[in-house]
Structure 1
Amino acid sequence: MDSMLITVFLPIALAIIMAGMGLELTLNDFKRVRQHPKAVFIALFCQLVVLVSIAFLICKVFALPPMIAVGLMLLAASPGGPTANLYSYLYKGDVALNITLTAINSVIAAFSLPLIVNFALQHFVPGEQNVGLQFSKIVQVFIIIVVPVTIGMFIRHLSPYFAEKLNKPIRIFAIVFLLFIVSLAIAKDYQKLLAYLGQVGSATFLFCICSLIIGYFVPRLFGISNFQAKACAFEIGIHNGTLALTIALTVIANSMAAMPAAIYSIFMYIVAALFGMLLNKLEKRDVPRSINSTINQA
């Protein structure tokens, strides 16, 4: 029963959640790239290159056990999702840009995630036979990510009202499901988790902080507005832990690889909320300064 739960029900449940993501997307979200090409390119570069590189360095610096290192790389390769859109809305970011980034990220992740995980497996788990995701597993990742999102988009295209009605139940299901697989991942290897808790917790916490900081400040360095930089920060900083957990338990079939995503999913929401409040506080301080500067110039 435990094997069937992991190999059958987890992918089905994740497919429902990914379809829920598709319910929030339209083709216009992909076309909107032309309106903000610079912000989209910088955000994707941070997500796919900078963060993956930082995750790799964290694995090395913390000397993480092989499969835990693979799990952190899997987490880094996982895109954002609806939660990032929600945080962007709450902390006054560009939600339209968030949705666009989610749409693009969902498609790219179907190809980039297997590549990054294969690299991690070959680098951190040397000497084992059949290291890396085989072609059938890569196809499985593609199906888990792209097909449900496409179905969700198709439902929204046919009936926007029905899609809106489905949205709330799927969001609730997503939260319950996340709690369930976090519990499952911890329960499967809780003794090893306790042994590595300090090491894994520190590594994932640092990765979470780096994701948010890079997501905000790198776009700002390239002249992206505060409004859009917030959207980039939450899209890059809030990874799809549900996706990472399910792939670790089903595709990679290793509970140790699920540990970084499990621990990350516990404190990610708190760290992201504190970061959003900090950004808004800094923004309020900057407004009076800009007004005084304008008055002095006049």
Structure 2
Amino acid sequence: MESSILIDVGLPLALFIIMTGIGLTLRRRDFHDIVVYPRATAFGTATQVVLMPLIAIVIAWVLPMDPALAVGLVVIAACPGGTTSNIFTFFARGNVALSITLTVTASLITVLSLPLIINLALGLFPLRPDLAEAAAELRLPFLRTIGTLGAIVILPVAIGMALRAWRPSLAARAERAVGVFGLVVLAVLIALIVAQLGADAVPMFRDAGIAVAVLNIAGIALGLFGGALAGLAPRDALTCAMELGIKNGTLGLLITLTLLHSPAMSVPSAVYGVLMFGFGTVLIVIGRRRLPAPAASI
């Protein structure tokens, strides 16, 4: 009962606070970056919303995976970046303004795209293909999902922006606290998932680990090399790679645990939440070695 309350009530509340933290980093004029960096914004958003889920589907087809893990892999691939990607971009000497823009833009779009992509994954990797009724029950309700994501993505971002405009000093202090809070929430959720899965946790984490690592590497490569082919500056390509590599794992856990009610589907999000810090650190090393220090205004 306690774990159910923690997931059903605590998880949405925690994500609401984390998304408010994204809003605390924003001002209205920051959205002008969409105009200032149109090519980078278009590339980064399209790869997050469209290409990453498609890559996850291909990985799930190629690698032998339990259908629940396959759906979970698509879920985390379809999630946008989070506040952690903005922090990692700063340390990697990337384009922080672009990183924030991509995080917000992709977050807003995924309110509509996530239910479509997840239902596609449920159709491609049915958990009970022998029972049509079971497959129908596993469909993610479109309007309910949009309403849920809107309440925990769009609304808190707006609240965070309003708080920054009203009390910028308070917003600056709260932003740091929210970042730490997000890491704590992710750690607690991973521990809770392990406890719920019991003896199945080790094999599931092992089976999902390879697929998640391949997805993470593919996202980073897509950002670095795809961005270069798209004509992006090295700093912008690195930023896109960071956004594709550092996902909002808490959002993935919210969807799998509270909307799909599947601890097994949540495993890829949990594994991704751990591995992404290692890959993000590699990008920080690459950025600090190959990119000059950004101007103080950035």
Assess same fold via TM > 0.5.
Answer: yes
Residue 38 in structure 1 maps to residue 39 in structure 2: yes
Picking from 109, 116, 130, the partner of 2:137 is: 130
Query: Using a 3 Å threshold, how does the CA distance of structure 1 residues 138 and 130 change in structure 2: closer, same or farther?
Result: farther
What CA deviation, in whole Å up to 9, does each residue of 1:251-274 have, x standing for no partner?
Answer: 111101110011111121012211
What CA deviation, in whole Å up to 9, does each residue of 1:97-116 have, x standing for no partner?
Answer: 11111121121111111211
Residue 195 in structure 1 maps to residue 203 in structure 2: yes
Whichever residue aligns with residue 131 of structure 1, its letter is L
Whichever residue aligns with residue 168 of structure 2, its letter is P
TM-score for the superposition, normalised by structure 1: 0.90
What CA deviation, in whole Å up to 9, does each residue of 1:228-254 have, x standing for no partner?
Answer: 111111112111111111221111111
Distance 1:166 1:146 in 2: 19
How does 1:92-241 map onto structure 2 within 5 Å? 92-125=93-126, 126=129, 127=132, 128=134, 129-134=136-141, 135-241=143-249
- Matched residue, 2:84: 83
TM-score for the superposition, normalised by structure 2: 0.90
Is the 1:30–1:103 contact (alpha carbons within 8 Å) kept by the matching residues of 2?
no
Distance 2:286 2:35 in 1: 31
Distance 2:65 2:151 in 1: 30
Distance 1:103 1:195 in 2: 35
What CA deviation, in whole Å up to 9, does each residue of 1:105-163 have, x standing for no partner?
Answer: 12111111121112112221243232311132332122222111121112112221121
- Matched residue, 1:288: none
User: CA offset at residue 203 of structure 1?
Assistant: 0.4
User: CA offset at residue 280 of structure 1?
Assistant: 4.2
What CA deviation, in whole Å up to 9, does each residue of 1:31-65 have, x standing for no partner?
Answer: 22111111111111211222111100111111321
Structure 1 gaps of 5+ residues are 285-298
Distance 2:59 2:282 in 1: 23
User: CA offset at residue 190 of structure 1?
Assistant: 3.4
- Matched residue, 1:295: none
Is the 2:72–2:265 contact (alpha carbons within 8 Å) kept by the matching residues of 1?
yes
Distance 1:283 1:139 in 2: 41
Distance 1:114 1:29 in 2: 28
Distance 2:154 2:39 in 1: 25
User: CA offset at residue 193 of structure 1?
Assistant: 2.5
Whichever residue aligns with residue 78 of structure 1, its letter is C
Distance 1:246 1:111 in 2: 16
User: CA offset at residue 70 of structure 1?
Assistant: 1.1
Structure 2 gaps of 5+ residues are 293-298
Residue 6 in structure 1 maps to residue 7 in structure 2: yes
Is the 1:72–1:260 contact (alpha carbons within 8 Å) kept by the matching residues of 2?
yes
Distance 1:143 1:283 in 2: 38
Is the 2:138–2:260 contact (alpha carbons within 8 Å) kept by the matching residues of 1?
no
Picking from 246, 263, 267, the partner of 2:271 is: 263
Whichever residue aligns with residue 31 of structure 2, its letter is F
Is the 2:72–2:266 contact (alpha carbons within 8 Å) kept by the matching residues of 1?
yes
Count residues with an aligned counterpart. 284
SS of the residue aligned with 1:188? helix
CA RMSD of aligned residues (A): 1.6
Distance 1:63 1:264 in 2: 18
Moved more, 73-82 or 125-134: 125-134
Give me the identity figure in percent. Answer: 35
Whichever residue aligns with residue 84 of structure 1, its letter is S
SS of the residue aligned with 2:137? coil
- Matched residue, 2:260: 252
